[in-house]
Structure 1
Amino acid sequence: MPQLQPIVPVILSGGSGTRLWPMSTPAMPKQMLALTAEETMLQLTARRAQGERFSAPIVVANAKHAAMVEAQLEAASATADALILEPIGRNTAPAIALAAIAAGSGDAALLIMPSDHVILDVPAFHAAVEAALPMVEQGWLVTFGINPHAPETGYGYIHMGEEIAAGVHRVAKFVEKPPRDAAEAMLAAGDHAWNGGIFLFRADSYLEALAQHDPETLAACKASMDNARHEGKRIYPEAEAFAASPAESIDYAVMEKAERVAVVPVKMGWSDLGSWDALHEISELDESGNSHQGEVIAIDTAHCLVRSDGARIAMVGVEDLIVVASGTDILILPRGRSQEVKALIEAMKKRG
């Protein structure tokens, strides 16, 4: 069967990444930061979809970040084919619809990637994409299931059904973030994967599924793109029409409802980098189990994650801490509790 050429990378860069405060902020979200390597998360995402199999990417981003996105992509030799600038955040289902329309609404294969995830084994990722392509050509919507290594309760899961092609399974069911005992049972069963939010499908297949299952979103996105303003490669969807779209994820709007949905399980060193604990887990550690970046002095200190973009941090006789300094803000909390940063942000909002 002829393979689709080329694959169009679609990079979703609209998130604010507040769980990595204080370094990640609405003005400088985590995808714009160099957290795991010399390049930023956005640049690493663009690089993993470069080469003869891929076209120039379509990037969907917050309009406030336009210049920053363009500069970072240019530095990574990954100039976007189109930069779609959302006037307001409306979650992933509408964002992907904008990209599918910008790609021509036809048989182009779209590889949907969040801009702020880590994939350490890029060849394994590429192999999973190749395995999915024959089903994508037939109109299937494919997601990539992350090989689970722990009973995580913070991720959604995918129950994998029968194998319908080499390395490709029908999705039996999407499972909400489970309680601990359910997560342990799914891990033990061996037929579940984490839902990593990475997808591959034809533009027309996605838009047809959206028309069937979420026509309100499709109508709003079409209207906003029909009346969009174009400035070179920048596309500004018409704000009022786009604001009429429901704020819905692709999982709820399409993937959980569509008939022909498949999953390719893959072990590729993935992390959504959703917390400072997640960063510590994938970071290089010194002989005392510390991960540090910036000007840090640590004596008799173990199993800490320490980050600073300016202030000098000095630590003596502590362990299992997360310490992050950015500008005039400093975060200190025990390792294992970094998901609570979200509650901290809410408390600060209430204080103005």
Structure 2
Amino acid sequence: MITPILLCGGSGTRLWPLSRKSFPKQFADILGEQSLFQASALRFVGPGFADPLVITGNEFRFIVTEQLAECGVQASGIMIEPEGRNTAPAAIAAALQVAASNPGGLILLVPSDHAVADPAAFRAAVAQGLPAAEAGQIVTFGIQPSRAETGYGWLEAGAVTHPGVHHLNRFIEKPNAARAAELFAAPHNLWNAGVFLAKATVLIAAFAEHAPAILAGVKAALDGAVADLGFTRIEAKAWAKVPEDSIDYAVMEKAANVSVVRFDGHWSDLGGWQSVWQESAQDEAHNALSTHATAFDCENSLLRSESPEIELVGIGLKNIVAVAMHDAVMVADMSDAQNVKKAVATLKARGAKQAVQFPKDHRPWGWYETLILSDRFQVKRIHVHPGAALSLQSHVHRSEHWIVVAGTARVTVDEKVQLLTENQSVYIPLGAVHRMENPGKVPMVLIEVQTGSYLGEDDIIRYEDIYARS
């Protein structure tokens, strides 16, 4: 059995404003009804694969559990990194976790933000690499290139070691245009997908030889790990001392036992808006349009409105990316769309919350979004999952009105508990101890109107919380 390891971090800048630090691209519905994370989890469900192990950040833990539940995948575990340290520490943490319960176990390290058009073909490529992995090789997967790409690292495949498996001669850094053309012209060169198959113990041995400081630091952090609501929370102080590095630099470029399997199917890491345009359905003028986007006399453009309340109209555009959300709009020439990271950095330096904060704020019980924010009042839409409950809390600076618009709410205000259904409302006085719960089997949605001198999320005193938040 192969345990898929879903690496689920990221800064969320390359596909801004749809992707942000608080909600990176793997969780967004970019190419269809499923998120990239959900598609990655489902890609390795079936014979030969164990339940996946997910490694993610603290801020994403409940998004991960929610999206796994939505697509019907059960994780074998969810490990929480106190902070991102690049892929090498995450990879060896997963290997150590698997080896602890199954010393001979195989792991498949997979970024959770890639798009693969034919999951069955990718599983077949993994099966092709299995004999080499069982023989002690670290098997990576090279994508058959379709163009002289400068945005990917490349792999140089060497002699055949097993059927369909080649020795990996070397990793090649992201090339300039001239070098990319040379690489593309040679049939033994492939794109680097960043996917690795190996025995957990083989990967541990590779780290012991080539990255012992990372291995030792991760072991110390795992020794202090604690269970928390079904998550494995890695110890923060030890983790902060672990050297930050990618698995390619730390181990793979130094190891002698690395092989590569060629994957001929369609693959993309969706590394920018141009990639999204290439992967999206297009009209006869090569425009990729969302439901609420309209193009007149446009060519080779991507027009996306992520809000049904915003109709995005393009007129006479050529080679343009335009993405509109409730709180931010991005327009760029297709050739300059990769510079969105610079724009996000500028917004962040200016203190714009849109730089990092997604309009929907996901919580363990559901999510909320701010509809109106003024000096002394705020209006929110709150979505509570079936069976979920917010903490028992009070506020020092604000009072609230709740109006139920869908489902049923069980509301506690001091000593009084009542059920509210659609179109019913309740007032929460300043200082009152209160809680909302969804006792039903369908989502509960309410509109919350806050009034007061301070409306920040830190104006919360919690008395009870099933999610163990302070």
TM-score, normalised via structure 2 length: 0.72
1:287-306 paired onto structure 2 within 5 Å: 287-306=284-303
Residue 97 of structure 1: CA displacement? Answer: 1.1
Tell me what 2:248 maps to.
251
Q: If each structure's helix is expressed as a fraction of its own residues, which one has the higher value?
A: 1
Amino acid at match of 1:15: G
Are the counterparts in 2 of residues 80 and 233 from structure 1 also a CA contact under 8 Å? no
Q: Identify which of 230, 233, 237 aligns with 1:236.
A: 233
Task: Map 1:105-254 onto structure 2 (within 5 A).
Answer: 105=100, 106-254=103-251
1:60 match: secondary structure: strand
Contact 1:10-1:113 within 8 A present in 2 as well: yes
**CA distances 1:38-82 after superposition (whole Å, capped 9, x unpaired):** 111100000100012111100001111111100001111112111
Q: Secondary structure at the match of 2:243?
A: coil
Percent identity between the aligned chains? 39
Deviation at 1:351, TM superposition (A): 2.5
How far apart in 1 are the matches of 2:155 and 2:55? 26
Pick from 71, 76, 80 the counterpart of residue 71 of structure 2: 76
1:300·1:317 contact (CA, 8 Å) conserved in 2?
Answer: yes
Q: Deviations over 1:256-300 (max 9, x none)?
A: 011110000111210000001001101111222111124112222
CA distance in 1, matches of 2:327, 2:47: 45
Q: Give the AA of the match of 2:77.
A: A
| Aligned equivalent of 2:26 | 31
Mean alpha-carbon deviation: is it higher for 61-70 or for 98-107?
Answer: 98-107
Which of 59, 63, 66 is residue 61 of structure 2 equivalent to? Answer: 66
Residue equivalent to 1:85? 80
Report the residue type matching 2:329 in the other structure.
I
Q: Which amino acid aligns with 1:336?
A: S
Residues 96-127 of structure 1 deviation map (CA, whole Å, 9 limit, x = unaligned): 11111221342211111111000112222111
Q: Which amino acid aligns with 1:62?
A: G
String of CA shifts for 1:233-276, please: whole Å, max 9, x gaps: 31100001111111100000110011110000111210000001
Amino acid at match of 1:156: G
Q: In the alignment, what sits opposite 1:282? A: 279
Separation of aligned partners in 2, 1:303 and 1:154: 20
Equivalent residue letter for 1:330: V
Q: Which structure is higher in strand share?
A: 2
Answer yes or no: is the 8 Å Cα contact 1:81–1:233 preserved in 2. Answer: no
**Which residue in the other structure is 2:270 paired with?**
273
Preserved CA contact (<8 Å) 1:90 1:245: yes
Structure 1 residue 307 corresponds to structure 2 residue 304: yes
Q: How far apart are the structure 1 equivalents of 2:321 and 2:290?
A: 12
Gaps of 5+ in 2: 352-470
After superposition, give the CA deviation of every residue in 1:177-223 in whole Å (9 maximum; x if it has no partner): 11222211111121111111011011111111001111111111111
Q: Larger relative CO (CA 8 A, sep 6+): 1 or 2?
A: 1
Name whichever of 296-305 and 45-54 sits farther off: 296-305
Rounded to whole Å, the distance in 1 between the matches of 2:135 and 2:239 is 30
Contact 2:303–2:314, Cα closer than 8 Å, also in 1: no
Tell me if the contact between 2:155 and 2:172 (Cα under 8 Å) persists in the aligned partners.
yes
Corresponding residue for residue 3 of structure 1 = none
Q: Is the 8 A contact 1:119 1:269 kept in 2?
A: yes
Q: Which moved more, 1:231-240 or 1:167-176?
A: 231-240
What's the offset of the Cα at 1:232?
4.6
SS of 2:331's equivalent in the other structure is strand
Whole-Å Cα distance in 2 between the matches of residues 148 and 213 of structure 1? 30
SS of match in other structure, 2:5: strand
Greater displacement, 252-261 / 120-129: 120-129
TM-score, with structure 1 as normaliser: 0.96
Question: 1: distance between equivalents of 2:68 and 2:192?
Answer: 27
Q: What secondary structure, in the 3-state scheme, does the structure 2 residue paired with 1:103 have? A: helix
Pick which of 129-138 and 311-320 moved more: 311-320
Query: What SS is found at the alignment partner of 2:222?
Result: helix
Report deviation, 1:348. Answer: 2.0
Structure 1: segments with no counterpart, 5+ residues = 1-5
The residue correspondences of 1:30-49 to structure 2 (distance < 5 A) are 30-49=25-44
Name the CA distance, whole Å, in 1 between partners of 2:281 and 2:69: 28
Q: Letter of the aligned partner of 1:169 in structure 2? A: H
2:309 pairs with 1:337: no
CA–CA distance in structure 2, aligned partners of residues 336 and 118 of structure 1: 21
Query: Which range moves more in the overlay, 276-285 or 229-238?
Result: 229-238
* Counterpart code for 1:132: G
Equivalent pairs, count: 347
Q: Distance in 2 between matches of 1:23 and 1:149?
A: 27
For the residues of structure 2 that align with 1:209 and 1:135, how far apart are their CA atoms?
Answer: 16
Q: 1:94 aligns with which of 86, 89, 92?
A: 89
Q: In 2, distance between residues paired with 1:107 and 1:50?
A: 20
Shift of 1:336: 2.1
Partner of 2:324 in structure 1?
325
Alpha-carbon distance in structure 1 between the residues aligned to 2:174 and 2:255: 20
Return the letter of the residue paired with 2:14: R
User: Are 2:16 and 1:21 aligned?
Assistant: yes
Q: Distance in 2 between matches of 1:318 and 1:266?
A: 36
> In the alignment, which residue of structure 1 is the partner of 2:259?
262
Alpha carbons 1:82, 1:102 under 8 Å: kept: no
